[in-house]
Structure 1
């Protein structure tokens, strides 16, 4: 018998030993403890009480031992058992006989052999056998699970509670692109007649939180096919060759379940571009090579559709993106305003919401938010409703949750001096007046000087009436001027600088430099691109691709734009200085005002 056969035979012997030991224990318990278990428990009684019960003809049977007396009473057909100390009483036997008390053994019932057999033999053995059977199945399941874990693959077969396209809102274009794939998996004959082939791979690309994984689940749910979910990191191993083995195991399982969908999340983990660097990761490259071979190699994976998701498509290897592997890219972008309204309504179905909620306003206030962020906003609103003791989520809860996500919770214990509070009031009103007095600026929705946990001592919230896709040079200059409005108000009223404009300076500089280096909005550089790099969906700073001399000119041009916007902000505030004082005093008193209140005073 070889070593493998010995290992396979070992679990069977252990089960037999387990049964023998368990049955032996049951038999010993039955032989030695069962008689004691069946005994009757007696109540302690005084000897005088015993004699009184005998005289009252309540005692029907007595068992006399060397040091105690057991007796049974029968009162109103209720049998009770008592125990008393033995006393050397020569008249006791005569008294008992005169009262017709029987002598016998008390506390031992005649055993019911059938019940004893069931309780002490059949039932324990049955429990042991069932337990052993369940453990054996559990061992098999754990071995299978261990195999699944080693291979890094999990199968999720669709059920009645499957994900569908109805649960994916705000991505109509992506759903249209994938609807054809669903139809192919459901009706392959229709495409086979004309010779059309389903794409082997579809790459879902887009920013984080836009629903790429949810979209992949919805495709499997709509097509009603098995869904193998895996992550790119699960193929990454320290040992060379293990990741490639996992890829082979994944596709072997998928072929057995075809037609099916294999989903690889964060595929950039194993699909990065290969290079000739001496520090290249040999294990990762072998895993990538195996994935390339499985997708479009010597064997045809009929009925196996590969879906993958990433938010770094620029890092993927070109061989992975060529036709025959990932034939199609589906972009899952940030939702527009109508998409955000749909997403909010989908998530709101899981909560108790008030009827009068303006989802349009919430969608306009969350421009640039992803589906995951909108879901978080709705949940934050529900948590606030519970804190406030309400049974339903109100519109005010959702508005406050937006502010929590943007600026953090209110700092209720933060105490500003009267002078600081006054400076913050003028600072925020300066932003608001600049936003209101410039064309094409988003309307002011709310102004507050309540400190937030993000470090903001106050903020001015603007809400666009509609989504803007293009940014004109006028729009960019207006944004910079609005950012300069707070510092300009401080200079006009107090003649002093504060640190409150630090974030405004950062944002204004970012826009000004982008106008020069990326958008070609200056006469000096015309349409010359001066920056490269940056990640499409994850953001990140770009790098200047110009000479040091040109970089100095970029700095000067950016400074020139900021100075121009700063001067415009100072002029607008000087022209509206009376309203600046009136509104700042009103905000100082109220701490928070709405956009309607602000415009009413400004236009009065």
Structure 2
């Protein structure tokens, strides 16, 4: 028996027939041939792409919207695109109220909502209805989301979190379906807290930019309004939301019954900044001679206008600078360099200025410094530098006062100080450069604000119009063309008045400007002590320490511990003793708990 591997059977049969005829083999003497087929795997190789495609489709049909199907929620995958992407958190967040500083009033408001869920009967017995929601508003970086996380960390109720943009998908009808699914999930986990971050993604005013078509965003908002209005007092679901654009939200979303309370979280004052610094200084390794409390107060005085996120960035930058310099601990100089880094940008050591350019920058910054030094309402100067940072070739750092109301005279002094650089260039060089572009922009904005918004011009009168935000397109001005021409004329007159006043001042103080400029060319950086040596004491009183800033504003510092209401609530949460509603009300009245 001979085994032969064949690939072309017809050719083998013809050759075998010819060979047997030539050899004279006939009839039953011819060789019998038996064929058998062997599998070499080629069929499986050819079928592999098809099998992979079928397997991928089956996997997509079976998986959930986030990569794994949720048990008990249907088929998942392509059929679950309308399921909510919200996360249910119980003990996963380690942020507490003690980690949030600078917003004590907002803490009390948020804590009260949690207390509603903990003890609803004590409010219902008095005839009160549990509020359905609160919206946290304020500038970016002030701690809205952090406060919501602290609420999740403190409460022992389920915390459901979702982002506003997760409701909007390319498929029509997905947004409303996800809203319905979200509130079904909330009712199943009641009592709970539902937090919608960046709610402006779905809560914008209706009727804008929709020229007769169907708007998925409007449908999603309508469904959200219906679901929030569908809650009753026994649902025990509190809805929190966060946004930094409350002005674009639909009025129907903000009415009582949906979001009963609007909690504004603004930039912290000097006491709030000191409290925030104390929180962020905890994990840092400071030099032994530094006291955290005194360091926090000093840094709070040096960072006016900073938000909580800015303060966290300063502390982190100080640690990075210390590590870059191979220091064993963080000292005060590292924090001062970090503030410069955040305010002025990264120092550009490789950017070499030509001697003429460097001289121009020195006189420009000296003009700012001297003008501010001899103007009563200008901010105290901290530091002036001609080292390029960020986009600028030089910068001056001031210490603004903590105030909310400004007079016409104060705003005029600020304009004159801002124009000091351009005036110094004209006085000493007889020419002007492009270096004052940012100064002129600030002066123009201030002048328009005084005339258009604050009603500080006699000719335009006691009127106020909204100035367009940066990047917004204005199709129709709220005033006539004649008023627009009058406003432009008065703005030019106001800026000219400030410019001439600054020229007169710097002509009188020309030797002082030259002193400061020459010292800047020599040292590149001048602080307040150098200015005192060159110009003498400032002729006006100024504040420079934390104690001076908070004098007359109440307590010296904000209490970073829990307020009385929060302490009582924590004590009650950790206590195993059951209290009657009457005992709870009496205890909270004694502890100052708000209702």
1:350 positional shift: 2.5
Distance 2:202 2:93 in 1: 32
Partner of 2:374: 437
**Is the 1:155–1:226 contact (alpha carbons within 8 Å) kept by the matching residues of 2?**
no
Residue 161 to residue 297, structure 1, CA distance change in 2 (3 Å): closer
Q: How many correspondences in the alignment?
A: 464
2:116 equivalent to 1:181: no
- Out of 448, 461, 464, the residue aligned to residue 513 of structure 1 is 448
Please say if residues 65 and 85 of structure 2, whose CA atoms lie closer than 8 Å, have aligned partners that are also in contact: no
Q: Which residue of 2 aligns with 1:326?
A: 259
Mapped contact 1:220–1:227 kept (Cα < 8 A): yes
2:179 to 241, 247, 254: 247
The alpha-carbon deviation at position 192 of structure 1 amounts to 2.1
TM value normalised by structure 1: 0.72
Quote the residue 1:547 is aligned against: 480
> In 2, distance between residues paired with 1:275 and 1:541?
17
Cα shift at 1:182? 2.1
Do structure 1's residue 496 and structure 2's residue 422 form an aligned pair? Answer: no
Aligned partner of 1:469 in structure 2 is 404
Q: Secondary structure at the match of 1:532?
A: coil
Aligned twin of 2:534:
601
Q: 1:280 to 1:332 in 2, by over 3 A?
A: farther
2:297 maps to what in 1? 360
Structure ranking higher on relative contact order (CA contacts 8 Å, 6+ apart): 2
Structure 1 window deviating more from structure 2 (278-287 vs 564-573): it is 278-287
Match among 470, 478, 491 for residue 413 of structure 2: 478
Alignment match, 2:457: 522
Quick one: which of 50, 69, 80 aligns to 1:143? 69
2:394 aligned partner: 458
| Structure 1 residue 312 corresponds to structure 2 residue 234 | no
The answer to whether the aligner puts 1:349 opposite 2:349 as a matched pair is no
Partners of 2:266 and 2:421 lie apart in 1 by: 34
Q: In 1, Cα distance between the equivalents of 2:232 and 2:450?
A: 52
**What corresponds to 1:420 in structure 2?**
357
Instruction: Quote the offset at 1:389 in angstroms.
Output: 0.9
> Is 2:146 the partner of 1:214?
yes
For the Cα contact (< 8 Å) 2:460–2:486, is it kept in 1?
no
> Within 2, Cα distance between the matches of 1:523 and 1:324?
44
- Distance 1:445-1:282 versus aligned 2 partners, 3 A rule: same
What corresponds to 2:226 in structure 1?
A: 293
Q: Give the corresponding residue for 2:189.
A: 257
* Cα distance change of structure 1 residues 139 and 177 upon mapping to structure 2, 3 Å threshold: closer
Cα drift, residue 370 of structure 1: 1.6
Between 1:198-207 and 1:289-298, the stretch displaced more is: 289-298
Cα deviation for residue 427 of structure 1 reads 0.9
Cα pair 1:217 1:227 within 8 Å, conserved: no
CA distance in 2 between counterparts of 1:298 and 1:312 reads 26
Matched, 1:371 2:308: yes
Question: What residue is the counterpart of 2:29 in the other structure?
Answer: none
> Could you report, residue by residue, the CA deviation over 1:273-331 in whole angstroms, capped at 9, with x for unpaired residues?
22284355432222222211211127666111100111111222222122211111111
1:270 paired with 2:270, answer no
8 Å CA contact 1:266, 1:309 repeated in 2:
yes
The correspondence for 1:390, drawn from 320, 327, 340, is 327
Indicate yes or no: 2:189 matched with 1:282. no
Distance 2:368 2:462 in 1: 31
- The question of whether the paired residues in 2 share the 8 Å contact of 1:185 and 1:223 is answered with no
| Distance of 2:83 and 2:65 partners within structure 1 | 18
Look up the match of 1:575.
508
CA distance in 2, matches of 1:325, 1:301: 15
Question: Structure 1: where are the runs of 5+ without partners?
Answer: 1-135
Contact 1:240 1:282 in 2 (8 A): no
Distance 1:579 1:546 in 2: 46
Alpha-carbon distance between aligned partners in 1 of 2:65 and 2:536, rounded to the nearest angstrom? 78
C-alpha distance in 1, partners of 2:491/2:349?
A: 39
Deviations 1:91-119 (A, max 9, x none): xxxxxxxxxxxxxxxxxxxxxxxxxxxxx
The answer as to whether partners of 2:130 and 2:233 remain within 8 angstroms in 1 is no
- Give 1:540 shift: 6.4
- RMSD between superposed Cα atoms in Å: 2.6
Check conservation: 2:65, 2:81, Cα contact below 8 A. no
- Offset at residue 240 of structure 1 (A): 2.2
| 1:234 corresponding residue in structure 2 | 166
The CA distance in 2 between the partners of 1:603 and 1:283, in whole Å, is 66
Q: Give the one of 466, 481, 496 matched to 1:532.
A: 466
What secondary structure does 2:277 align onto?
helix
Using structure 2 for the length normalisation, give the TM-score.
0.73
* Alignment-derived partner of residue 523 in structure 2: 590
**Given the superposition, is the C-alpha separation of residues 540 and 442 from structure 1 closer, same or farther in structure 2, using an over 3 Å criterion?**
farther
**Residues 456-505 of structure 1, C-alpha deviations (whole Å, 9 max, x = no match):** 111111113x4111111111101110011111111111111111111111
Separation (CA, whole Å) in 2 of partners of 1:507 and 1:248 = 48
Note the C-alpha offset of 1:584: 1.2
> Comparing both structures, which one devotes a greater share of its residues to strand?
1
Answer whether contact 1:153 1:228 (CA < 8 A) is retained. no
Do the aligned residues in 2 keep the contact of 1:244 with 1:291 (CA within 8 Å)? yes
- SS of 1:203 mapped into structure 2: strand
Distance 1:431 1:262, change over 3 A: same
- Over 3 Å counting, the alpha-carbon distance change for 1:138 and 1:267 in structure 2 is closer
Structure 1 pair 363–300 and aligned structure 2 pair: CA distance change class (3 A): same
Pick closer, same or farther for the CA change 1:342–1:280 going to 2, 3 Å: farther
Q: Which range moves more in the overlay, 406-415 or 476-485?
A: 406-415
Shift of residue 223 of structure 1?
Answer: 2.5
SS of the aligned residue for 2:383 comes to: strand
1:412-457 Cα shifts (integer Å, max 9, x gaps): 1111122221221111111011111011221110011101132x11
Mapped to 1, the partners of 2:253 and 2:524 lie a distance apart of: 56
Distance in 1, Cα, partners of 2:238 & 2:81:
22
